[in-house]
């Protein structure tokens, strides 16, 4: 991990000189996108056009708290190295809330659909929502700037909780489609148009699944079921989390007949991620791969993100997540794959171990680091808890592991940060083990303040923020409560995308 110790030394040197180099601040992710400065939340308008991946995002150009929402912009050729540009859609009298983009039929104009958020100041100086309506903007410079059309807002039902349009053209009906969530009613409303200006309601979906939280950021896409010619439509939403009072994403599988989404019978809610910081995810439009879609999400949560201990910037994006539909013994499920293919070029030589047996103890790899990827294959041998302690300092650690006794896979961030910035943050997130799994494979992407865990090659995921101490770079494999058999351990450092 020379890169990291070098990074650490530079940090020290910069500090002594009284400044920190951009992208070297404490907690700054080194292989995940975050804006150079200021607040960021949802990804918006993800689209691939002329071999460039565009990432727009909810951005406050004026500070590192939520506010003045505009569409920030970054581009990439590989969805890993990002270059940030000027704001693509700035706030006006209204803020520019989340939405999506699509390529116009002329194949030259990019179209953005977003929620225009009209607001006023309430007597306490807070924001009072006047209305949330939908607007359209067009770009004639390949996505670097957008101009609102004169007819805006194009869709106004007078609601204060009506947002996050997903725009797409359906060749079957030759119509533009827009899905908008009626957040408090737990509904997604489907509209159609031929000119992007006049919109007609054609159906609505919901409530179904988890309705504990507001429904936000709908997405809809078609996927084949792996290894078959069955095609299904998947509706994803940011709403609901297995843990009450938290935010997360859920999905529905079914068919979209051109006007209506008809869900298949499944034991809803189905969750996209079992951590607390994978939110507002949407997929890239205009891609040509047929077997998967690629999603990025905000690594954060409105439950506590305004308090997180980062400075200059606040908020980061997940790694790109390729999503597939797979037939499991419980039915069709959305799965991903660990994003190694995106990151391979950044990996160091691995530290490898095979057949490592631990009995109530720990093993420390011969290096330290805060940006690395670990693949562990742990055999199910009884009641032991086994896994890896990461981002460890004298007082803090984050634990990722398998509790075979309880039958769960977990990220424990109870003691992951010295700053007790918000009580809702601290705790343990877990997902159930399938008892038929003989061995459990965890692909753990650790990046300063982000932990993304892919279970069984991406069948399930857990994503969480953590805020370790500056010297929290110790890594330890561990077994507790008996013996553990690590069939395989593979740990590689990941080079920074910013240097
Ligand atoms: C989701 C969300 C969206 C909204 C945006 C505002 O995180 O609440 O519903 O458009 O953030 O920033």
pLDDT of residue 18: 54
> Distance (Å, rounded) from C-alpha 427 to C-alpha 309?
17
For ligand 1, the distance from its centroid to the CA atom of residue 183, given in whole angstroms, is 11
pLDDT of residue 245: 81
pLDDT at 489: 98
Q: Pairing mode, if any, of strands 216-224 and 408-412?
A: unpaired
Measure CA of the first residue to CA of the last residue in the chain; give whole Å: 15
**Res. 162: pLDDT tops 90:** yes
Instruction: Pick the atom of ligand 1 nearest to 279's CA.
Output: 7
Within 6 A (CB) of ligand 1 lie: 41-42, 58, 69, 97-98, 115, 163-164, 216-217, 280, 302
> What does the alpha-carbon distance between residue 148 and residue 392 come to, in Å, rounded to a whole number?
49
Note whether 411 and 275 are same-domain residues. Answer: no
In a domain, 410, yes or no: yes
Beta bridge partners of 232: 223
User: What Å distances lie between residue 480 and 67, 269, 472, CA to CA?
Assistant: 45, 33, 21
CB atoms within 10 A of CB 102: 22
Q: Is the pLDDT of residue 8 over 60?
A: no
**Which ligand 1 atom is at minimum distance from the Cα of 164?**
10
From 337, 371, 401, give the residue that closes a domain: 337
140 and 272 within one domain: yes
Which atom of ligand 1 is nearest the CA belonging to 66?
Answer: 12
pLDDT of residue 160: 95
- The residue contributing the CA closest to ligand 1 atom 6 is 97
Among 40, 163, 276, which is best to mutate for testing ligand 1, by the most ligand atoms less than 8 A from CB?
163
Please indicate, yes or no, whether residues 350 and 310 belong to a single structural domain of this protein.
Answer: no
CB-side neighbour CA atoms (13 Å) of 44: 28
Domains held by the chain: number = 2
With 0-12 / 13-18 / 19 or more C-beta atoms within 10 angstroms meaning exposed / middle / buried, residue 121 is exposed
Which of 310, 337, 364 is where one domain is finished?
337
The mean pLDDT of 432-436, rounded to a whole number, is 89
| Averaged pLDDT for residues 165-194 | 98
Write down the pLDDT at residue 123.
83
Instruction: Report if residue 5 sits inside a domain.
Output: no
123: enclosing H helix or E strand: none
Same domain, 328 and 381: no
Pocket test for ligand 1, best of 45, 58, 213, 214 (most atoms within 8 A of CB): 58
Which of 286, 305, 337 delimits the end of a domain?
337
Spot the catalytic one: 42, 219, 273, 429: 42
Per-residue model confidence as pLDDT tens digits over 263-276:
999 999 999 999 99
What percentage of residues in the chain have a pLDDT greater than 90? 89
pLDDT at 129: 85
Indicate the burial class of 171 (C-beta count within 10 angstroms; 0-12, 13-18, 19 or more). Answer: exposed
Yes or no: say if 227 and 218 are a contact pair by the CB < 8 Å rule.
Answer: no
Mean predicted confidence (pLDDT) in 123-144: 93
pLDDT at 128: 85
- Mean pLDDT confidence for 321-348: 97
**16, containing H or E segment:** helix 2-16
4 occurs within a structural domain:
no
Distance from residue 450's CA to the centre of ligand 1 (Å): 21
Record the pTM.
Answer: 0.95
498 in any annotated domain: no
Query: According to the model, what pLDDT value does residue 383 have?
Result: 78
Round to whole Å and give the CA distance between 132 and 25. Answer: 36
Mark whether 333 and 370 lie in a shared domain.
no
- pLDDT average, residue stretch 358-382: 94
Q: What is the rounded average pLDDT of the residues 337-348?
A: 97
Q: Which atom of ligand 1 is nearest to the CA of 69?
A: 12
Same domain, yes or no: 364 and 325 = no
Q: What is the mean pLDDT of residues 80-108?
A: 97
pLDDT in tens, 247-264: 999 999 999 999 999 999
What is the whole-number distance in angstroms between the Cα of residue 427 and the centre of ligand 1? 25
Ligand 1 atom with minimal separation from the 183 CA: 9
Residue 429 CA, distance from chain mean position: 16
Q: How far apart are the CA of 135 and the centre of ligand 1, in A?
A: 15
Task: Work out the average pLDDT over 201-212.
Answer: 97
Specify the pLDDT at position 1: 36
Indicate if 100 and 244 belong to the same structural domain.
yes
Q: Is residue 3 part of a domain?
A: no
- Asked whether residue 146 is assigned to any structural domain, the reply reads yes
CATH of the domain at 428: 2.60.120.560
Task: Give me the count of residues in the chain.
Answer: 499
Cα–Cα dist 314/307, whole Å: 9
* Partner residues linked to 29 by β-bridges: none
Probe residue for ligand 1, chosen from 35, 41, 277 as the CB with the greatest number of ligand atoms within 8 Å? 41
Q: Which range marks the domain in which residue 330 is found?
A: 13-337
- Regarding whether 373 and 332 lie in a shared domain, the answer is no
Which of 42, 91, 113 has most ligand 1 atoms within 8 Å of CB, for mutation?
42
Same domain as 105, residue 53: yes
Q: From the CA of 302, give the closest atom in ligand 1.
A: 7
Give pLDDT, residue 126.
83
Please compute the mean of the pLDDT values over residues 138-144 and round it to a whole number.
98
Please give the pLDDT value at position 7.
41
Query: How many angstroms is it from 155 CA to the middle of ligand 1?
Result: 18
Q: Say whether both 113 and 254 belong to one domain.
A: yes
pLDDT for the residue 12: 47
CA 244–ligand 1 middle distance (angstroms): 20
Asked if 397 contacts 389 with a C-beta cutoff of 8 angstroms, the reply is: yes
From 449, 360, 377, 309, select the one nearest 28 (Cα to Cα): 449
pLDDT of residue 381: 81
Instruction: Tell me if 227 is assigned to some domain.
Output: yes
List residues bridging with 41 in a β-sheet. none
Together in a domain, 322 and 364: no
44-84 tens-digit pLDDT: 999 999 999 999 999 999 999 999 999 999 999 999 999 99
Residue 17 has pLDDT above 60, yes or no: no
The CATH number that applies at residue 143 is 2.115.10.20
Q: Residue 1 falls within a domain, yes or no?
A: no
Any catalytic annotation for residue 142?
Answer: no
Question: How many angstroms separate the alpha carbon of residue 226 from the centre of ligand 1?
Answer: 32
Between the CA of 216 and the centroid of ligand 1 the distance, in Å, is 7
304 and 345 belong to one structural domain: no
- Kindly report the average pLDDT of the chain as a whole number: 94
């Amino acid at each position: 991990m020379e890169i990291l110790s070098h990074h650490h030394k530079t940090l020290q040197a910069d500090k002594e000189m009284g400044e920190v180099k951009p992208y070297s601040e404490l907690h700054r992710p080194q292989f995940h996108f975050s804006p150079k400065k200021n607040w960021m939340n949802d990804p918006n308008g993800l689209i691939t056009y002329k071999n460039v991946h565009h990432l727009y995002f909810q951005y406050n150009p004026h500070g590192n708290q939520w506010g003045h929402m505009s569409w920030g912009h970054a581009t990439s050729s590989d969805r890993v190295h990002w270059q940030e540009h000027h704001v693509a859609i700035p706030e006006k009298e209204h803020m520019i809330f989340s939405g999506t983009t699509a390529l116009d039929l002329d194949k030259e104009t990019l179209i953005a659909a977003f929620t225009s958020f009209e607001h006023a100041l309430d007597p306490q100086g807070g924001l009072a929502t006047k209305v949330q309506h939908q607007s359209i903007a067009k770009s004639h410079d390949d996505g670097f700037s957008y101009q609102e059309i004169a007819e805006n807002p194009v869709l106004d039902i007078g609601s204060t909780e009506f947002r996050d349009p997903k725009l797409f053209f359906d060749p079957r009906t030759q119509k533009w489609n827009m899905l908008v969530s009626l957040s408090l009613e737990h509904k997604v409303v489907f509209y159609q148009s031929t000119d992007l200006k006049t919109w007609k309601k054609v159906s609505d979906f919901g409530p179904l699944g988890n309705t504990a939280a507001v429904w936000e950021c709908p997405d809809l896409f078609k996927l084949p079921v792996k290894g078959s010619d069955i095609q299904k439509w998947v509706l994803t939403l940011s709403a609901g989390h297995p843990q009450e009072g938290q935010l997360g994403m859920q999905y529905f599988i079914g068919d979209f007949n051109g006007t209506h989404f008809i869900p298949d019978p499944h034991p809803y809610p189905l969750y996209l991620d079992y951590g607390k910081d994978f939110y507002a995810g949407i997929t890239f439009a205009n891609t040509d791969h047929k077997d998967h879609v690629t999603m990025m999400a905000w690594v954060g949560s409105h439950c506590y993100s305004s308090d997180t201990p980062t400075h200059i910037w606040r908020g980061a994006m997940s790694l790109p997540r390729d999503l597939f539909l797979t037939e499991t013994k419980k039915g069709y499920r959305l799965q991903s794959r660990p994003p190694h293919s995106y990151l391979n070029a950044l990996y160091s030589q691995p530290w490898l171990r095979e057949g490592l047996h631990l009995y109530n103890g720990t093993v420390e790899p011969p290096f330290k680091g805060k940006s690395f990827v670990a693949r562990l294959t742990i055999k199910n041998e009884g009641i032991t808890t086994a896994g890896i302690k990461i981002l460890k300092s004298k007082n803090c650690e984050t634990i990722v592991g398998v509790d075979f006794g309880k039958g769960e896979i977990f990220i424990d961030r109870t003691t992951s940060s010295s700053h007790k910035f918000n009580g809702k943050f601290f705790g343990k997130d877990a997902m159930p083990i399938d008892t038929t799994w003989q061995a459990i494979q965890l692909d753990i992407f650790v990046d300063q303040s982000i932990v993304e865990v892919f279970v069984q090659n991406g069948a399930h995921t857990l994503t969480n923020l953590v805020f370790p101490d500056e010297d929290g770079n110790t890594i330890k494999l561990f077994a507790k409560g008996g013996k553990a058999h690590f069939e395989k351990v593979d740990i590689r450092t990941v080079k920074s995308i910013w240097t």
